[in-house]
Amino acid sequence: MCEKCKGNFYITTPIYYPSAKLHIGHTYCTVATDAMARYKRLQGYNVKFLTGTDEHGQKIEDKAREAGVTPQQFVDNIVEGEGGVLDLWKLMNISYDRFIRTTDDYHVAAIQKIFKKMYENGDIYKGTYKGKYCKPCESFWTESQLVDGKCPDCGREVQDAEEEAYFFRLSKYADRVQDLLENTDFLEPRSRVHEMVNNFIKPGLEDLCVSRTSFTWGVPVDFDPGHVVYVWIDALFNYMTALGFENDKYNDLSEFWPADVHFVGKEIVRFHSIIWPAMLMSLNLPLPKKVFGHGWLLLDGGKMSKSKGNVVDPYILAEHFGVDALRFFLLRTFPFGSDGNFSNEALISTINVDLANDLGNLVSRTVAMAQKYFGETLPAEQLANEEMDAELVGMVSGLRARYEEQMEHYAFQNALAEIFKVISRANKYIDENAPWVLAKDEANKPRLAKVLYNLLETVRICGGLLAPFMPATSEEIAKRLGGAQMDWESLGQFGMLTPTVATVAGPALFPRIDMEKELKVLEEMNKPVEVPTEPEVEFKPDIAFDEFEKVDMTVVKVLTCEKVKKSEKLLKFTLDDGSKEPRQILSGIAKFYEPEQLIGKTLVAVTNLAPRKMMGQMSCGMLLSAEKGDKLNLVMLDDSIAAGSKLV
Ligand code: MSP
């Protein structure tokens, strides 16, 4: 730790499944973690911020197979490919210090060692797994945990599952974990404690299945080939392997473990607050100081999906409204511990009200007035007015403390509310002091200068405290105040801005958005792309290879071709099939071809079909053709292929 640092601070996001592109819900958690990490850095902590991807498991294996690539190629593309996870975090200005992928060699090797240690200490044993398995969630459930017989997380069907597997003795740690949850502040918000204890611990904790044999895309159990480590040991220990636990790649464990806080979504609180501490207890390792279970972003009360007309692609939203506006919206609008309803309307309205009207106006008006009345710098001669200034100055002076109180409890919404109360008060202060009236009389110039100074100082402190949420905007505000100081110390004291501050004008920080127009644009962008529907392919029942082999498919050249009299459908062909005698075949394609078009063409015929009579004429075989819509297309080959060649 550096000498000046206040201490170390280790914070993590969940590691995300790269089974598909990440959406605004994942972005929400990462932005919150980033805000916390930036806040702690601002305070002077030596911060380690970890995020990453959880790349193993059956779902990834299945998705890769569907995509026709290897699982590694599949996850590489989602993580490192264009528009992937790394690009998204870059776009969103996420200041992570380390990114772990569970397919990283050092992590894989470390997980094998961890698994073996727990096997050797007796906490992992071999048994038979019988239970209910939710494939999309990769979760096992007991009968009692199912909701209406379905997966309690996603509501989908579960399957009976039975196989040889390793188990972790979770039951052994039930009492210690219950004590941890009930008698410490390990898990927050508090409401989640009751949920965990009542739903999972009190009904009886069962041992946890920690290996699988039904898929291969995972960390192999090195002492028992065929088993791969089932996802949660692999996933949860990322928080420690990324610091160097059981590997030489990193060496920060003593500095940063135990973690100060794991931010996780509410659906994985169970894994982090019951299973994770139990595994750490098994290895006699220190427990993280806190797990915070945040709520979900919902769309019309349900889980995220694109069907409702709301854009959930963070790329589109950030591009459209700006990264800082999006970051701000996510943390300003929803209490972090509860669910929140995401909508395009709410996003636009927050931008208009808080950012364009309140913050943006305060900055523009203040800087514009300072420049208009005094040019580039404020004069040193300034006149305070205790009665007029006290309330604003008092509010701004105590802002850092009130903000800190909220931030320490991960109450981002409340911390921002404190800032915006001050911003509103400052806008009112402008009206109360009416600088445009003061400016009319030269004698009022010192008072006018003080009014503007108070406003600029308010902007500095608010702008500085907004940095964890809107880093680029905060920097821009500092620039408009002539490169004002925004370090933690100075944000706690009113009056640190130099009285002769030099201001810099600039365009509106957040232009107002035309709600109606923009909603239409977004709706349009969100419309599903019309994909022409492919005809349903019907397959006939399988036939044995020796049956198929009986079909004789021969390359033929068209010698003559003519219409069959009185038939609309039939064309009569004489064909060179490589034998001495020409072959006659009748084919129902008259609607689609002119006979002369086909003379000389190289086609494929089934030549051992029993001869049939059609319209009084013999047909010895059948020409192969493919359907396209209503049309039949003869299968044509390259003319260089000799008549009589066989299709194999
Ligand atoms: N891989 C596991 C986590 C392992 S951590 C050791 C996993 N991955 S996930 O990709 O499914 O999602 C993880 C996290 O994404 C959630 O816990 C949550 O933080 C975030 N969110 C996913 N959808 C979300 C919303 N709709 N709203 C808010 N957060 C959401 O579970």
- At 520, the amino acid letter reads K
Looking at residue 165, its pLDDT comes to: 92
Looking at residue 129, its pLDDT comes to: 81
Long-range CB contact pairs, 304-310, < 8 A, 24+: 304/23, 304/24, 304/25, 304/342, 306/526, 306/528, 309/344, 309/522, 309/523, 309/526, 310/342, 310/343, 310/344, 310/522, 310/526
Residue among 21, 29, 56, 273 whose CB has most ligand 1 atoms within 8 A, to mutate: 29
**Is the pLDDT confidence value at 70 over 70?**
yes
| Residue of the CA atom closest to atom 24 of ligand 1 | 25
**Could you read off the pLDDT of 171-189 as tens digits, one per residue?**
999 999 999 999 999 999 9
Using CB distances shorter than 6 Å, the residues near ligand 1 are: 14-17, 25-26, 28-29, 54, 235-236, 238, 264-265, 267-268, 296-297, 303-304
**Is the pLDDT confidence value at 306 over 50?**
no
Q: Measure CA 613 to chain center.
A: 65
Looking at residue 307, its pLDDT comes to: 46
Q: How many CB atoms lie within 10 A of CB 193?
A: 22
Residue among 22, 27, 28, 58 whose CB has most ligand 1 atoms within 8 A, to mutate: 28
| Residue of the CA atom closest to atom 10 of ligand 1 | 16
* Distance (Å) from CA 16 to ligand 1 centroid: 6
In whole numbers, what is the pLDDT of the chain averaged over residues? 92
Closest CA to 553 of 639, 637, 621: 621
The stretch 420-444 carries a mean pLDDT of 97
Q: Tokens standing for 201? A: 């611990």
Ligand 1 atom index nearest CA of 303: 26
Q: 424-433, 490-499, 545-554 — which is least confidently predicted?
A: 545-554
The stretch 493-520 carries a mean pLDDT of 94
In the block, tokens 């039930």 appear at 174
The stretch 482-496 carries a mean pLDDT of 96
Whether the bond between 258 and the residue before it is cis, its omega within 30 degrees of 0, is yes
Cα dihedral sign for 582, 585, 589, 590?
Answer: positive
| Residue of the CA atom closest to atom 25 of ligand 1 | 25
* Distance (Å) from CA 225 to ligand 1 centroid: 31
The stretch 376-380 carries a mean pLDDT of 94
Cα dihedral sign for 107, 110, 114, 116?
Answer: positive
**Could you read off the pLDDT of 117-174 as tens digits, one per residue?**
999 999 999 998 888 888 877 666 777 778 888 988 788 899 888 889 999 999 999 9
Q: Tokens standing for 520? A: 């239409």
**Is the pLDDT confidence value at 593 over 70?**
yes
**Is the pLDDT confidence value at 308 over 70?**
no
d(CA 13, CA 406): 20
**Could you read off the pLDDT of 227-236 as tens digits, one per residue?**
999 879 999 9
The stretch 614-637 carries a mean pLDDT of 88
Looking at residue 321, its pLDDT comes to: 93
Looking at residue 138, its pLDDT comes to: 67
d(CA 94, CA 73): 25
Proportion of the chain above pLDDT 90, given as a percent: 76
- Counts for the chain of helices (H) and strands (E), in that order: 26, 23
* Distance (Å) from CA 12 to ligand 1 centroid: 12
**Could you read off the pLDDT of 544-558 as tens digits, one per residue?**
788 888 899 999 999
**Is the pLDDT confidence value at 300 over 80?**
no
Look at 335 and 131; give whichever has higher pLDDT.
335
Residue among 268, 313, 317 whose CB has most ligand 1 atoms within 8 A, to mutate: 268
**Is the pLDDT confidence value at 251 over 90?**
yes
The stretch 625-638 carries a mean pLDDT of 87
Burial of 146 (0-12, 13-18, 19+ CB in 10 A): middle
Burial of 248 (0-12, 13-18, 19+ CB in 10 A): exposed
